[in-house]
Amino acid sequence: MFSAGTLAAIKRCPVRVLYAAEIKTTLHNGSPAHLLPLVDFCQARNFDWHNGYYLAVLQKA
């Protein structure tokens, strides 16, 4: 499942999810291994910093 914060925000809006797809960066729902441990935060801009994407088609309620 995607971020609880993302889904909570969608639920607060007057919309209905018609279709949704998740594209994950890793298979274990965590951060990519090359980011952990993150010693120098400036290094993060050179790598994938996210855990994936949530794409959805929404319809106004």
Report domain extents, the chain: 4-60
Q: Are 45 and 15 in contact (CB under 8 A)?
A: no
How far apart CA 49 and CA 19 sit, in angstroms, is 25
How confident is the model over 3-56, as pLDDT tens digits?
Answer: 788 889 999 999 999 999 988 877 776 666 655 566 666 666 666 566 778 899
pTM for this one? Answer: 0.60
The separation between CA 15 and the C-alpha centre of its own chain, rounded to angstroms, equals 19
How far apart CA 28 and CA 17 sit, in angstroms, is 25
Phi and psi at residue 57, to the nearest 5°? -105, 120
The separation between CA 30 and the C-alpha centre of its own chain, rounded to angstroms, equals 11
Q: Are 52 and 24 in contact (CB under 8 A)?
A: yes
